[in-house]
């Protein structure tokens, strides 16, 4: 996370929705953000099998929410199909 310094205070700059949620996880008192597994498109292209294994071991028999900020609709559909095969 990058920080900008202003004259009056420090301001944090978030780079993604995932980073915002991670930042908030330990700061919320009355709500809960579930475990997050995030990766880039480049990570996926290089390590698809490793990421799928990590999804399986981390979230086996649990409900999933897939957020795909940088993918096209066809890529999102393919990702969902691949994750469903793992389960």
Instruction: Give this prediction's pTM.
Output: 0.57
Q: Distance (Å, rounded) from C-alpha 77 to C-alpha 30?
A: 34
How far from the centroid of its chain's Cα atoms is residue 35's Cα? 9
**CB-CB neighbours of 46 under 10 Å:** 11
> What DSSP letter does each residue of 28-61 carry, written as one string?
-SS----------HHHHHHHHHHHHHHHHHHHTT
pLDDT in tens, 11-62: 556 577 788 888 888 899 999 888 888 888 888 889 988 988 888 888 877 7
């Amino acid at each position: 996370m990058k920080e900008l310094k202003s004259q009056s205070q420090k301001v944090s700059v978030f780079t993604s929705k995932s980073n915002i949620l991670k930042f908030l996880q330990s700061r919320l008192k009355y709500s809960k953000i579930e475990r997050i597994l995030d990766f880039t498109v480049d990570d996926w292209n290089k390590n698809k099998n490793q990421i799928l294994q990590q999804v399986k071991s981390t979230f086996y028999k649990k409900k999933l929410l897939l957020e795909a900020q940088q993918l096209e609709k066809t890529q999102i559909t393919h990702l969902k199909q691949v994750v469903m095969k793992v389960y």
